[in-house]
Structure 1
Amino acid sequence: MNWGTVIFAPFLPWPVLWAALAVAVVTVMFAGWRGLSGWGLRGLTALVLLTALANPSLQTEDRQPLSDIVLLVTDRSASQKIGDREAQTSAAVAAVKAKIAALPNTELRQVTVGDAPGDGGTLAMGALSGALAEEPRGRVAGEIVISDGQVHDMAQTPDLPAPLNLLMTGHETDWDRRLTIKDAPAFAIMGEPVTLTLRIEDQGKVPAGLGKSAPLEVSIDGGEPQSYDVPVGEDISVPVTLPHGGMNALQFRVAAQPGELTDRNNAAVVQINGVRDRLRVLLVSGEPHAGERVWRNLLKSDSSVDLVHFTILRPPEKQDGVPVSELSLIAFPTRELFIDKIDQFDLIIFDRYRRRGILPSAYLDNVKNYVENGGAVLVAAGPEFGSADSLWRSPLADILPVTPSSRVLVQGFKPEITKLGQRHPVTEGLAAFGPKPKPGEKGPGWGRWFRQIEMEARGGQTVMSGIDGKPLLVLDRVGKGRVAMLASDQAWLWSRGYEGGGPQLELLRRLAHWMMKEPELEEEALTATAEGQTVTITRRSLSEGHDAVTITGPDGKLVTVPLTETEPGKFTATWTAPDMGLYRLAEGDQKAVIAVGPSAPREFAETIATSDKLAPALAQHRGGAVRLEDGMPDIRQVGEGRVAAGRGWIGITPRHAYVTRDLRVMPLLPAWALLLLAALLAIGAWLREGRR
């Protein structure tokens, strides 16, 4: 296509030419005022001369028209998979392709938007901005977005050169119920109620007759749920008491209602770290000995531990003639500790305790009941455990996992971790603590102990052994509580660094925390952590044969993930979750709950299709929103600046873009012709004036 225009390349600057023109105009007007008959020809002469100085040329362009471009942004995020929106989207994409192909000189560019990483939602405007940056703005004739309207980056809307239109999926009758957690603490004290604030609300065209209350189920760590009837559309305060220390996964769920869009936002998970207000430990030392301070130093080093320590210095049988009224020793408050306040202790330690009539059998029977109801007792045995005064010859024998032989073995030995102990969290990896073994030495490089009480394990788990493989540390669960038996009173040798010492502090710390049911030391546990959408699964067990874990996704689909034993007693797997949401894990009798991202992702926070978020951008760029359920609209070409949306149609603006293939410039008249014309006009003016 050829296109011609007149251009000027003056020989003098334009200001000079304009000044000359002004002088010529004044001169001609003066000549006309004086009545000179040739003033008209003189004016034409000046005009021709000035035109020659302006150097007019004809510029001819060989133009090739360029096609118009329409940008199509297709929303394929998670909310677009609700109901029949995915089918609506696919049908709309096919229809837009066909209609654009039918328009003359028009091309289509497509961009697909999925779920943004990190629960960013639908970033349609960012995708549109990126697509616009790749195309010449002068060719863009329109932008079409196929979406439910739930766009989460409207602040990134670019400056568009053409109309913007929305083809909206969903239905006008859609409605949905969602559960949101408005306020939840990150930490809470165990045993004390903590209040969470949540809200249940309905969105969209809520059916008439739907109740104003809803059943809410609350469960902790996937346990048996408790049900409450709560109002809809109001903030609700829910008191919850954490059952254990460490991370507690609280799951809230509202039953799905018939006809609602999705139940993905009917559940929420809150992870609260349970901490103990104070750990109360009762330490009863039967007599002063070198290892007594080991326990005291261990427990007093932790500021969160309240230690009540009694050492029996003056047993009843001691006869030294000192009147009781003159003694400065603190009386042992046996009734207060073992009857009235025994349930207030998290752990009771009997350190080389001997039955001397201070604690009657009824009190020790109360200690047994304390363990069966969830308490913990640790017995650190000395030579007295094999005597007639042994605690084993008391009601505590029913809960102790060993039977003593009354023999005290006195010889040097190194404590060893049993095969079972290598899997138990109290002793696994303990060999890495303390001194390293000498070259050629088998086992850990720990120092020796020199006394062990011979006993036979009749239950529990023997995690450490001593002389000739005899039980040294036995752990057991009794009822709801726990019992530990340490068959030596010489752990203090490690703390003194004898022969290099050993991991005394780490061992006793783990032992005390296992007995107080710290979650990280549970020997049978299934845990999971999430970083982004990568889930790390850990299964701890004392037994073999844990090959896979079953995962139930937020959509109800089951996935089996194989486990690999990475350490003795520890099976792990790394798995990438396909979507964000709440996942339930199960392996044997162990269960766990993990939220990948929020339990109700941003895509499911608001699920009702709407044009409200896009409305300002649509109005600014002369476009509109059309529901696909009303039918696919026509696509028309409209003039620039005109409204580009109406009932049953949307518009694009042709841009008439082109590329110049060739450019030619030639003068309108040769210079000699202009000079000849000016001379003729001047002569004509002179002749006319002369005859007059």
Structure 2
Amino acid sequence: MTGNILFDPLLNIWLIAALAVLLVVGIAFAYWRGLSGWPLRALGGLVIIGAFLGPVYQLEEREPLSDIVIMVEDETASQTLADRGTTTSETADALATAIEARPNTELRRITLRDGPDNTGTRLMTALSEALAEEPRGRIAGGILISDGRLHDLDRTPDMPAPLHLLHTGQEQDWDRKIEVNNAPAFGILGEDMSMTLRVSDLGAAPADATIVSVDVSIDGEAPQRFQIPLNEDIDLPVRLPHGGRNVLQFSTPTVDGELTDRNNTVLVQINGVRDRLSVLLVSGEPHAGGRTWRNLLKSDSSVDLVHFTILRPPEKQDGVPVRELSLIAFPTRQLFLEKIDDFDLIIFDRYKRRGILPSVYLENVRNYVEGGGAVLIAAGPDFASADSLFRTPLEAILPARPTARVLEERFRPSITDLGQRHPVTSGLEQEFGAEWGRWMRQIEVEQASGDAVMTGVDDRPLLVLDRVGEGRVALLASDHAWLWNRGYEGGGPQLELLRRLAHWMMKEPELEEEALWAEATGQQMRIIRRSLEDTVGPVIITTPSGEQIEMSLEEVSPGRFETLYDGPDIGLYRLENQDHTAVIGLGPAAPVEFVNTIADTTTLEPVVDATGGGVVALSDGTPRLRAVREGRAAVGRGWIGITPRGAYETRSVRQTDLLPPWLVLLLMSGFVVGGWLLEGRR
């Protein structure tokens, strides 16, 4: 029970003050006149002023509330280094025992893990959330057990009591780390990229090292070793070996005594792209679909197109030499002998032998394909004639031979079962519907090799794809694809089909029919295997630690097999399935928890000092716990302090008039009458 006196004035306080002034003036005048009753009159006036102030006696029934101490244990990745984890848990247990042994004191013990998506140590966030759940008037102190490395200093709360940092670092701690800066997301194939590489020693590092080794590996292949100076930025030129994702791993050997080797390796994933794709389009003669290929290729800003059209048929005899029938001479020798390897794709659109391209040039085209080039033949009626391209050295690389028949009838192109699995044609029916417009003409061919992904009249091969040596060949046995572009009978996926076809021939990685790759989301990867086979075997995953895990793949769509895998570690994973391999890096290129591993006290010192707390090294032992008054220093040699708040909860309140009305009347009248009688006798 606690009592105190309160005032509840009956009049405005300024009016009461004015009455008090009049009372003082009156008493002073009485004293000056020598009236003997002035003391009693003064007492009577004080009783009246006191009654106007309304004094009451308030009696409260209070229940004391316990003090609260918040303790945050940092168990993020950087706290697993050396003996920090053990030190943290032992210190936390010892302080918890000491706090719980104190009377009227409670402990809020919070464990802090790594922030999501590589956001690091969210120390201030954890403290803010804990404070938000407790009454500020009961907070007696805060204790942070950490290495002092945090990544949310901007979330620092307004601490109503002393805050202490017990840091887990050691004076002899040191670490070596490797960093790669300004790594691009994309790189041009065949061109050098420049990245800035730096190997740094942090903390109490040995002073004898000046040159360190750095290994650079691409896609998990055998690394190349370089010697670079320590603690200096080095510009390192890198050239990507292939299109698609390239995983570059930079590492420096682990040295005895350093805190960790987790920051001795950096993974950088760069997507390799071609600067420009060069295409040579040779049109045999003008026709209704002649602009189809030109418009398709010109619409792609990454394609450099060289297009020649032969305008005069050979049956037109006017005596003008062939070389003089164009505005510029057809540079056959330059294109088909000297510069042929500069092209990524050669398209023959309704081309037939005209004496313009000698056999030696077409033989060079065959060698170009076998060496890695690509040829697409869009066949018209001439392909079935005696002047067909098939009757040239290209016969050795073409996947189908003409029967000399031209089928002039309506037909609806359809995708074969194999085409449902091939990346050039898979999913077209689902994306664009199956009811496509009909074509009017097809060249009958007999398939000799390759994959027929589309058929036409009576299931005859319409689009045949093949690999020859290191190159690729495609044969489209019709010249009526342009009908889709015109919207005939609803049209069809002409643009998408021809785009995919052209890019498959130019070996774009996303259109490989036999491929293995993975897509990462955080620490989870989606492993994808594309194949023309009905079944594929399990995929073997090699983790960064060398452990091998075998997982089966399920077919999610024709030709596409997938599975999900959660990687236990950050680093490079190797995938193997049959003859196909792939690599992928999980986690960030440089985990933020290991960017700086040396314990830091300077960041939190201003925050701690502002609350009256302190920074204590746990290498000196666990500090004792003391109670200190508010405003006093809360840290000293071997101890830290908390401030008891004396908080309470009021259970009931009772108020009693200090001057009841009858007592006020009695005292006032007594003093006034007494003064009058005293003066009257005199």
Q: Which category describes the TM-score, using the shorter chain as reference length? A: 0.7 to 0.9
Report if aligned partners of 2:211, 2:227 keep a CA contact under 8 Å in 1.
Answer: no
Structure 2 Cα separation of the partners of residues 54 and 479 of structure 1: 109
Q: Identify the residue that residue 189 of structure 2 maps to in structure 1.
A: 190
2:212/2:252 contact within 8 Å kept = no
Q: Displacement of 1:345 after TM fit?
A: 0.9
Partner of 2:420: 422
1:235 pairs with 2:233? yes
1:120-166 Cα deviation digits (max 9, x unpaired): 32222222222212211111111112222122222221211111112
Distance 1:12 1:503 in 2: 92
Structure 2 Cα separation of the partners of residues 481 and 267 of structure 1: 37
Partner Cα separation in structure 2 for residue 488 and residue 24 of structure 1:
120
1:482 aligns with 2:511: no
Residue of structure 2 aligned with 1:307, choices 284, 305, 308: 305
Amino acid in the other structure paired with 1:447: R
Q: In 2, are the aligned partners of 1:456 and 1:470 still within 8 Å (CA)?
A: no
2:24, 2:213 → 1: CA distance?
91
Q: Does 1:58 align with 2:57?
A: yes
- Counterpart check, 1:379 vs 2:377: yes
1:104-503 matched pairs, under 5 angstroms:
104-219=103-218, 221-286=219-284, 292-312=290-310, 320-322=318-320, 327-328=325-326, 330-355=328-353, 358-381=356-379, 391=389, 395-398=393-396, 400=397, 402=399, 404=401, 407-408=404-405, 410=407, 412=409, 414-432=412-430, 436-437=434-435, 445=436, 447-448=438-439, 450-458=441-449, 460-465=450-455, 471-492=461-482, 494-495=484-485, 502-503=492-493
The question of whether the paired residues in 2 share the 8 Å contact of 1:264 and 1:554 is answered with no
- Tell me, in whole angstroms, the C-alpha distance in 2 between the residues paired with 1:237 and 1:217: 14
* Equivalent residue number for residue 636 of structure 2: 646
Once the two structures are superposed, the pairs formed by residues 81-100 of structure 1 within 5 Å of their partners are: 81-100=80-99
CA distance in 2, matches of 1:672, 1:635: 57
Distance 1:180 1:421, change over 3 A: same
CA 1:242 to 1:613, structure 2 compared with 1: closer, same or farther past 3 Å? same
Do the aligned partners of residues 477 and 52 (structure 1) sit closer, same or farther apart at CA in structure 2, a change above 3 Å counting? same
Q: Judge which range, 170-179 or 644-653, deviates more.
A: 170-179
In structure 2, relative to structure 1, the CA distance for the partners of 1:623 and 1:559 (3 Å cut) is farther
Q: What CA distance in whole angstroms lies between the structure 1 residues aligned with 2:253 and 2:35?
A: 105
Residue 287 of structure 1, CA deviation: 5.2
Residues 654-663 or 71-80, more deviating: 71-80
The question of whether the paired residues in 2 share the 8 Å contact of 1:449 and 1:491 is answered with no
Q: Which residue of 2 aligns with 1:624?
A: 614
Among 487, 491, 506, the alignment partner of 2:496 is 506
- Following the alignment from structure 1 to structure 2, what is the Cα–Cα distance between the partners of residues 206 and 461? 62
Matched residues in 2 for 1:327 and 1:667: separation? 123
Distance 1:229 1:27 in 2: 102
Aligned mates of 2:106, 2:670 — CA distance in 1: 58
Please report how far the alpha carbon of residue 246 of structure 1 lies from its aligned counterpart in structure 2 after TM superposition: 4.8
Aligned partner letter, 2:69? V
Tell me, in whole angstroms, the C-alpha distance in 1 between the residues paired with 2:92 and 2:546. 29
- Name the amino acid aligned to 2:258: E
User: How far apart, in 1, do the equivalents of 2:497 and 2:6 lie?
Assistant: 95
The one-letter amino acid of 1:60's match is L
* Maintained 8 Å contact 1:141/1:655: yes
Structure-to-structure mapping, 1:548-587, within 5 angstroms: 548-551=538-541, 562-574=552-564, 585-587=575-577
Shift of 1:569: 0.8
Q: Which amino acid aligns with 1:91?
A: E
Q: For the residues of structure 1 that align with 2:654 and 2:383, how far apart are their CA atoms? A: 114
Q: Aligned equivalents of 1:257 and 1:408: distance in 2?
A: 75
Give how far 1:519 is off: 2.0
2:442, 2:457 within 8 Å by CA — same for their partners in 1? Answer: no
What residue number does 2:528 align with?
Answer: 538
Give the drift of 1:311.
3.9
Task: Tell me if structure 1 keeps the 8 A contact 2:267–2:571.
Answer: no
CA shift, 1:282, in A, is 1.3
Distance in 2 of aligned mates of 1:326 and 1:373: 33
Deviation by residue 1:570-597 (Cα, 9 ceiling, x = unmatched) = 1233456667766554444444444556
The 1:484/1:48 distance shift into structure 2, 3 A limit, reads same
SS of 1:335's equivalent in the other structure is: helix
The one-letter code matched in structure 1 to 2:641 is G
The answer to whether the 8 Å contact 2:399/2:473 transfers is no
Query: 1:440 maps to what in 2?
Result: none
Structure-2 residue corresponding to 1:517: 507
- 3-state DSSP of counterpart to 1:128: helix
The one-letter code sitting in structure 2 at the alignment partner of 1:371 is V
Once residues 568 and 20 of structure 2 are traced to their aligned partners in structure 1, the CA distance between those partners, rounded to angstroms, is: 78
Contact kept, 8 Å, 1:433 with 1:502, in 2: the verdict is no
Alignment length, in residue pairs? 681
Q: Compared with structure 1, are the counterparts of its residues 60 and 287 closer, same or farther at alpha carbon in structure 2 (3 Å cutoff)?
A: closer
Following superposition, the deviation at residue 689 of structure 1 comes to 5.8
Cα distance between partner residues in 1 of 2:546 and 2:623: 37
Q: Distance in 1 between matches of 2:155 and 2:247?
A: 36
How far, CA to CA, are the matches of 1:54 and 1:326 in structure 2? Answer: 121
User: 245-254 or 508-517: which moved more?
Assistant: 245-254
Give the Cα–Cα distance (whole angstroms) in 1 for the partners of residues 323 and 145 of structure 2.
93
Q: What amino acid is the match of 1:154?
A: L
Secondary structure at the residue paired with 2:69?
strand
1:529 aligns with 2:527: no
User: Matched residues in 2 for 1:325 and 1:15: separation?
Assistant: 116
The structural deviation recorded for 1:433 is: 6.6
The CA deviation string for residues 93-140 of structure 1, in whole angstroms up to 9 with x for no partner, is: 322221111111101123333333333322222222222122111111
Q: Quote how far apart the aligned CAs of 1:290 are.
A: 5.6
Change in Cα spacing, 1:585 to 1:617, as seen in structure 2 (3 Å) is: farther
Q: 5+ residue gaps in structure 2?
A: none
How far is 1:229 from its partner?
Answer: 2.9
SS of corresponding position for 1:4: strand
Shift of 1:338: 1.8
CA RMSD of aligned residues (A): 3.7
Task: State the distance in 1 between where 2:360 and 2:490 align.
Answer: 44
Letter of the structure 1 residue corresponding to residue 466 of structure 2: D
Q: Which TM-score applies when normalising by structure 1?
A: 0.86
Q: Deviations over 1:531-570 (max 9, x none)?
A: 5666444321222443654555667766655532111111
Partners of 2:658 and 2:307 in 1: how far apart? 115
CA distance in 2, matches of 1:305, 1:627: 64
Q: In structure 2, the residue corresponding to 1:118 is in which secondary structure? A: helix
Moved more, 487-496 or 113-122: 487-496
- Residues 666/615 of structure 1: CA separation in 2 closer, same or farther (3 Å cut): same
Q: Secondary structure of the equivalent of 1:261?
A: coil
Q: Percent identity?
A: 58
Q: Find the aligned partners of 1:340 and 1:115 in 2 and give their Cα distance.
A: 60
Give a deviation string over 1:400-447, Cα, whole Å, max 9, x none.
Answer: 15363755464646544333222110121233476744xxxxxxx552
Q: Distance between the aligned counterparts of 1:21 and 1:290, measured in 2?
A: 113
Q: Which moved more, 1:372-381 or 1:489-498?
A: 489-498
Per the TM alignment, residue 289 of structure 1 is displaced from its structure 2 partner at its CA by: 5.6
- Code of the residue aligned with 2:530 in structure 1: it is R
Distance 1:495 1:688, change over 3 A: closer
Q: What is the deviation of 1:522?
A: 1.3
Query: CA separation in 2, counterparts of 1:588 and 1:478?
Result: 22
Q: Is the 8 A contact 2:444 2:477 kept in 1?
A: yes
Residues 282 and 309, structure 1, Cα contact 8 Å, conserved in 2:
yes
Any idea what the Cα deviations from partners look like across 1:449-473, whole Å, max 9, x if unmatched? 5443433424x43333456655443
TM-score (ref. length: structure 2) = 0.87
Which stretch has the larger CA shift, 372-381 or 635-644?
A: 372-381
Distance (Å, rounded) in 2 between the aligned partners of 1:558 and 1:22? 97
- 1:634–1:245: structure 2 CA closer, same or farther, 3 Å change rule? same
